[in-house]
Amino acid sequence: MADGKSAGRIAELVQLICEVPAPTFSEGPRAELIAGLWRQAGLDVQVDDINNVFSDTGIGSGPRVLLAAHSDTVFPAGTDVTVQRAGGRWLAPGIGDNSASVAVLTHLAEQLGSLAPDGLPRLLLASPVGEEGRGDLRGMRRLLEDHGDSIDLVIAVDGHLGSIVDRAVGSKRFEFSFTAPGGHSWGDYPTPSAIHALADAISALNGMDVPASPRSSYNIGTVSGGTSINAIAEKARFDLDLRSVDPTALAALEQGALERVTEAARRHRVELHTEQIGDRPVAVVDNSQLVRIASEALREHGIEPQTAAGSTDANAALAAGLPAICFGVYRGGDAHRLSEWIDPASLDEGYAVLLSLLEGLSGMSS
């Protein structure tokens, strides 16, 4: 179990990891850091061509459990990721999601030699890339392609202490680009405008029937286009995120959205280019035993588990037919905001709960 001294070391690791930027698709420097730390801990470590970090520790017995904490963050290159302290909080973009989780996993790697192997399942550790945004779970997908035959269970280490994501939220993501002749806002009016078409398409999407049950959602996250207030826009684009816990509902949302955007482009006589930029699967696998053991581990430490649906690296594992959950190991807030924070005092507790979870998994049949 954790000895009360872990929090200081994990906090050191959080700052070290957080202050190495890792935007999605640019995770190389952080992957190099993580791989180096794991090698210093005595592990045999592989880094693949997309910067996934992986180690079959060779430690433990029973079910083969992949613990995976993604390395990337939502923040673009150039974001100041210096860790600041304010009272009992540590603040920095990406300090929780997912630097704290990577730090807890790295501390586990450092402590494996002092843990009783008969109390652990067979452990495989990974820090995959591409969990956020347009990464589309590419790191976890690759890990499962390369190592799936040697994995029985997957735990994505991500999120707040007490949370268990046990159901996969599927998503479809598209980028729509409109192209028009453009021209002068007075002299060439009413030449078709890419922005007018885009606005009509967004208005049409606002009229979609998005079911509350099964829970579904849509979001237009970014919009861009045009060159000047007095120029008819030649180009405009927006991206769309569709989500649901139900594959039929998600398919209906996708069909309806594509039809509405296509019709808006036709009405405005502009060219439309549609690119699918994300496809996270809705998948259902019996993970009830894994959820039960995770819940028992939390309750052992006086924490009431909160289960929920979510879109995490566990989606890819469930889609591959593997029992999987996403398990949180820190307390904090403001994820995906510049004001993101963690409570560093929670890190020792998160590590202790993770150890209890692993002890529980060691008794499962492989």
Q: What is the pLDDT of residue 3?
A: 52
pLDDT higher than threshold 70 for residue 46: yes
- What CATH number has the domain bearing residue 179? 3.30.70.360
Secondary-structure breakdown of the chain: helix, strand, coil percentages, each rounded to the nearest 5: 35, 25, 35
Tell me, yes or no, whether 303 and 320 share the same domain.
yes
- What CATH number has the domain bearing residue 122? 3.40.630.10
Q: Which residue did the predictor score with more confidence, 116 or 109?
A: 109
Q: What percentage of the chain exceeds 90 in pLDDT?
A: 94
Average pLDDT over residues 229-247: 97
Q: How many domains, the chain?
A: 2
Average pLDDT over residues 219-242: 97
Q: What is the pLDDT of residue 7?
A: 66
Domain that holds residue 110: 6-168+282-361
| Phi, psi (rounded to 5 degrees) for 144 | -70, -35
Tell me, yes or no, whether 137 and 188 share the same domain.
no
Tell me, yes or no, whether 275 and 287 share the same domain.
no
Residue 135 lies in a domain: yes
Tell me, yes or no, whether 216 and 106 share the same domain.
no
Tell me, yes or no, whether 147 and 177 share the same domain.
no
Residue 254 lies in a domain: yes
Q: What is the pLDDT of residue 5?
A: 60
pLDDT higher than threshold 50 for residue 340: yes
Tell me, yes or no, whether 101 and 125 share the same domain.
yes
User: Of 232, 260, 280, which marks where a domain is finished?
Assistant: 280
Q: What is the pLDDT of residue 17?
A: 98
Q: At what angle do helices 101-111 and 28-40 cross, to 10 degrees?
A: 20
Tell me, yes or no, whether 251 and 305 share the same domain.
no
Q: What is the pTM of this model?
A: 0.90
Average pLDDT over residues 298-326: 96
Query: Is the separation of the CB atoms in 221 and 239 below 8 Å?
Result: yes
Tell me, yes or no, whether 265 and 301 share the same domain.
no
Residue 128 lies in a domain: yes
Residue 366 lies in a domain: no
Q: What is the pLDDT of residue 83?
A: 98
Instruction: Quick: pLDDT tens for 92-102.
Output: 999 999 999 99
Tell me, yes or no, whether 308 and 201 share the same domain.
no
Q: What is the pLDDT of residue 59?
A: 95
Low-confidence winner among 257-261, 281-285, 298-302, 354-358 (lowest mean pLDDT): 281-285
Q: What is the pLDDT of residue 80?
A: 98
Average pLDDT over residues 127-137: 95
pLDDT band per the 50, 70, 90 thresholds, residue 159? very high
Residue 32 lies in a domain: yes
Average pLDDT of the chain to the nearest whole number: 96
pLDDT higher than threshold 80 for residue 206: yes
Tell me, yes or no, whether 275 and 289 share the same domain.
no
Structure tokens at 254: 């996708």
Residues near 26 by beta carbon (within 8 Å), at least 6 away in sequence: 77
pLDDT higher than threshold 60 for residue 4: no
CA–CA gap between residue 20 and residue 115 (Å, rounded): 29
Tell me, yes or no, whether 318 and 249 share the same domain.
no
Average pLDDT over residues 213-218: 96
Instruction: Quick: pLDDT tens for 170-186.
Output: 999 999 999 999 999 99
Query: Is the separation of the CB atoms in 199 and 308 below 8 Å?
Result: no
Tell me, yes or no, whether 287 and 276 share the same domain.
no
CA–CA gap between residue 258 and residue 237 (Å, rounded): 14
Residue 33: how many CB atoms within 10 A of its CB? 21
Q: What is the pLDDT of residue 1?
A: 44
Average pLDDT over residues 62-74: 97
Q: What percentage of the chain exceeds 70 in pLDDT?
A: 98
Average pLDDT over residues 318-332: 97
Bridge partners (DSSP) listed for residue 274: 176
The alpha carbon torsion through 21, 23, 26, 29 (nearest 10 deg) reads: 20
Residue 1 lies in a domain: no
User: Of 236, 251, 280, which marks where a domain is finished?
Assistant: 280
Residue 77 lies in a domain: yes
Q: Which residue did the predictor score with more confidence, 284 or 288?
A: 288
User: Of 258, 280, 302, which marks where a domain is finished?
Assistant: 280
How many CA within 13 A on the CB side of residue 271?
Answer: 7
